[in-house]
């Protein structure tokens, strides 16, 4: 069962606002003119609601319309993102959407080829996924033998070396680290030469849909397996790493560590 924090935040904001508002409108005045000779104390639930409503409202506005934090739970976007990275996602670049309903209310921005995007997983919209957009509406995309071709042009790859890590990501050691060029954007990907290639893909990307891949090409469940991401599933563009805290052995405190060099990094 997936926890829906957005729905909880909306509920808390609504309930605290209603309790505070109803009390202020109907009951607060009676307390002040109490015949007992002194002002009656404010009920605890009203006190909490009055104090917390502005906090809930501010967090709801920031998280729903401006920026939302996420934590990377898997290795599918290595080497760009590691397990334990905490990232920020721009919520307005692709259009502002209502929380819970996910209905776009204004804005017409579209993902560009190469953007790292967070979206609601098409097979289970309650689960957020993060991948890189490689195919936009109108593209003719082919993926075969671990090579990507867009509109008849093979995507340029440059070998940078063999990936190696002593910490998070060491399971990917031995993979090729390559620089991939998507338009004007270049970024690194990993390809495992010992792992067989996936089923070949050859398709035209329809309007309102996007083809996404993980940067860790041989360790990612993406559009090659479950299909395209519809525009209405988009959450936003990932742009910043604000914290890194790995705990691969969650019950082994010795494995908990912060990678200080990753903090403050832009996501390309």
Which of 16, 49, 131, 220 is catalytic? The answer is 131
Question: How far is it, in rounded angstroms, from Cα 73 to Cα 216?
Answer: 14
How distant, in Å, are the alpha carbons of 18, 83, 96, 168 from that of 62?
21, 25, 12, 31
**Quick check: helix, strand or coil at residue 46?**
helix
Question: How far is it, in rounded angstroms, from Cα 251 to Cα 41?
Answer: 46
Give all strands (DSSP E) within 145-262, no chain letters: 147-150, 153-154, 156-162, 176-182, 185-191, 201-204, 209-213, 229-230, 234-244
Which of 76, 175, 220, 223 is catalytic? The answer is 76
Q: Which residue matches tokens 């979206």?
A: 119
Which residues are within 8 A (CB) of 168 and not within 5 positions of it... i.e. 6 or more apart?
Answer: 82, 83, 84, 246, 248, 259
131 annotated active-site: yes
Region label for 228, one of left (φ > 0), alpha (ψ between -120 and 50) or beta (otherwise) = beta
64 annotated active-site: no
Question: How far is it, in rounded angstroms, from Cα 216 to Cα 193?
Answer: 12
Judge whether 250 and 239 are in contact, CB under 8 Å. Answer: no
Residues with catalytic roles: 76, 131
């Amino acid at each position: 069962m997936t926890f829906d924090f957005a729905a909880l935040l909306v509920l808390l904001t609504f309930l605290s606002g209603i309790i505070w508002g109803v009390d202020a409108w109907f009951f607060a005045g009676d307390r002040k003119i109490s015949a007992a000779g002194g002002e009656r104390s404010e009920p605890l639930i009203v006190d909490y609601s009055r104090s917390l409503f502005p906090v809930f409202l501010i967090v709801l506005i920031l998280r729903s319309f401006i920026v939302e934090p996420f934590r990377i739970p898997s290795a599918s976007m290595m080497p760009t993102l590691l397990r334990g990275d905490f990232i920020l996602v721009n919520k307005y670049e692709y259009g502002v959407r209502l929380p819970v309903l996910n209905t776009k209310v204004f804005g017409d921005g579209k993902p560009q080829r190469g953007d790292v995007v967070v979206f609601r997983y098409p097979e289970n919209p309650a689960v957020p996924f993060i991948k890189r957009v490689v195919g936009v509406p109108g593209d003719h995309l082919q993926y075969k033998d671990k090579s990507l071709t867009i509109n008849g042009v093979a995507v340029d790859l440059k070998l940078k070396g063999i990936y190696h890590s002593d910490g998070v990501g060491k399971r990917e050691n031995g993979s090729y680290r390559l620089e991939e060029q998507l338009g004007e954007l270049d970024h690194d990907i990993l390809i495992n030469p010992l792992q067989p290639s996936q089923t070949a893909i050859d398709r035209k990307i329809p309007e309102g849909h996007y083809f996404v891949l993980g940067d860790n090409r041989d360790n990612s469940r993406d559009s090659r397996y479950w299909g395209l991401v519809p525009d209405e599933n988009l959450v936003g563009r990932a742009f910043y790493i604000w914290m890194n805290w790995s705990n691969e052995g969650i019950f082994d405190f010795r494995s908990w560590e912060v990678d200080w060099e990753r903090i403050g990094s832009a996501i390309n």
